[in-house]
Structure 1
């Protein structure tokens, strides 16, 4: 009886250990998945000012903020009217990796680095709210003029008699990683040129640069060419969309292996499948209790007679 109870306890302990091992592995897999997809619906948010100001340092949320809430906190700040110009740059399709891949010596990186006050949030929740009504409220409160400019246009000027709120929408950024890197370098030069002109006209300005989501209707219109003409890579900035080059195979024309798909495949093959094999192996290693055999020389009949 003692040997049977001991074997049963050993079997139960083995089952508990295997179950705990499988549970820890599954929990680790779930944590990896949640961490990987926790930033799938985010955009970068960068803001800086040409003069020292606490309008950006006061925005220190404890959790990952919303893009609209961040912009609202800036526009509702009591010192927002102290700037002569507020420049809001909207870049559809921009990812935080696009900014990280920029050269540290480029004009945009140097401008942000040398700014007296700056705020950089690589993963901000997307917002479906349009920032136009917030900018209109600031323009009404500060007596500023709204001015919409284009990246390739250099004809705009600022009047020194009033404040200005400038908005600029960059071309859509999409495609493979290498193509995005090449296009982003060209976009960065356009942004730097506009920032240099802005700094030359007003030394007291605030810049807000963030990504956004291109509406589906606008994306479909940007991909439609009624004349059937193909544009070269160097002339894509004349439209609101970036068209991938015609040559180079299907991977250059379409983004099949997206970062989310690659991450999913890696998690499945290196996390989920090993956890499944570990569970099967743990269940297969469970053995039945050891049989209790009578000691050598033991006779049940003699024991009964006694």
Structure 2
């Protein structure tokens, strides 16, 4: 029973971090497109984030929306980035940022469907730029950058992420747009197992913001992201609590009650000779 309860408790916790990918966004100028996104989440789908951006009236006000997609990206990969990395420096200095550690992703096509929808709505050019390559167009554009996927496990991921961060820095620096929004997200298989995240499920993503002083507006925006607070009630934790309260504890209670109600039968050979129950009662 103990092993079964442990298995039931661990299963939803693993599912809580599978089929999720981090979602971070920042802008070169103050952007209501980002500021109107929710500052904190309990359970959120990445599709709802894309829909919120798409329905925003200011979605077409920027020269470019750059969508960076990296298959296999984990929240722990961002957590391990150094403060001097391009992503960390961009988030710490950007006037508008949002950071989500574990939004659910139901389809790997969500980012590309979003890019096509924005391009159609804003009559913008949809461009695919290879990592490390430049783009010289000046018209309003939706730029899609497909980063190499991350499939390995262990300490090698940190080194690979550092290389990809430098590659992304080169790509973004080559873009001619001064007023732009960058959205960086990933995708993961439903069956993928986030061992790094499961090792510390209650730990927030790495605080990528700089520790140096900044303006009050920037600090208020940066500290509203999930990277600055613990996400206490995750879907997995809620499911574990429900299983323990409504399945494990009742089974344990009825099991103990059943064991307590079992009585050993009275042995006839243990009664004294000549013993008569009816006579004993009459006495």
Partners of 1:135 and 1:117 lie apart in 2 by: 20
DSSP-derived class of the 2:73 partner: coil
What does the per-residue CA deviation read over 1:216-268, in whole Å, with 9 as the maximum and x for residues that have no partner?
A: xxxxxxxxxxxxxxxxxxxxxxxxxxxxxxxxxxxxxxxxxx6559969xxxx
**Residue in structure 1 matched with residue 160 of structure 2 by the alignment:** 183
Pairing partner for 2:46 from 67, 74, 82: 67
Q: 1:75 to 1:305 in 2, by over 3 A?
A: closer
CA distance in 2, matches of 1:208, 1:70: 11
Q: Of 68, 87, 90, which residue of structure 2 is paired with 1:89? A: 68
Partner of 2:118: 138
Report the CA distance shift for 1:165/1:305 in structure 2 as closer, same or farther (over 3 A).
closer
Match of residue 206, structure 1, among 172, 181, 196: 181
Q: Give the secondary structure class of the aligned counterpart of 2:101.
A: strand
Report the Cα distance in structure 2 between the residues aligned to 1:124 and 1:202, rounded to whole angstroms. 28
- Displacement of 1:288 after TM fit? 5.0
Number of residue equivalences: 219
1:123 is aligned to 2:90: no
Post-superposition offset of 1:205: 0.3
After superposition, give the CA deviation of every residue in 1:113-149 in whole Å (9 maximum; x if it has no partner): 2111111111111124443343233223323211110
1:170 is the counterpart of 2:150: no
Cα offset, 1:183, TM superposition: 1.1
Q: Give the TM-score taking structure 2 as reference length.
A: 0.63
Partner Cα distance (2:35, 2:194) in 1: 32
Match of 1:225 in 2: none
TM-score by length of 1: 0.59
CA distance in 1, matches of 2:181, 2:136: 17
- Please, which runs of 5 or more residues in structure 2 have no aligned partner? 200-247, 267-276
CA contact (8 A) 1:151 1:194 kept: yes
Alignment of 1:150-161 (within 5 A): 150-154=130-134, 156-159=135-138
Say which is worse superposed, 97-106 or 138-147, in terms of deviation.
Answer: 138-147
Alignment correspondent of 2:231: none
Give 1:211-290 correspondences, 5 Å limit: 211-213=186-188, 259=194, 288=263
Q: CA deviation at 1:75?
A: 2.1
Instruction: Compare CA radii of gyration and give the structure with the larger one.
Output: 1
The alpha carbon displacement at 1:212 in A equals 1.7
Q: Is the 8 A contact 2:115 2:144 kept in 1?
A: no
Residue 101 (str. 1) matches residue 80 (str. 2): yes
**1:76 is matched with which residue?**
55
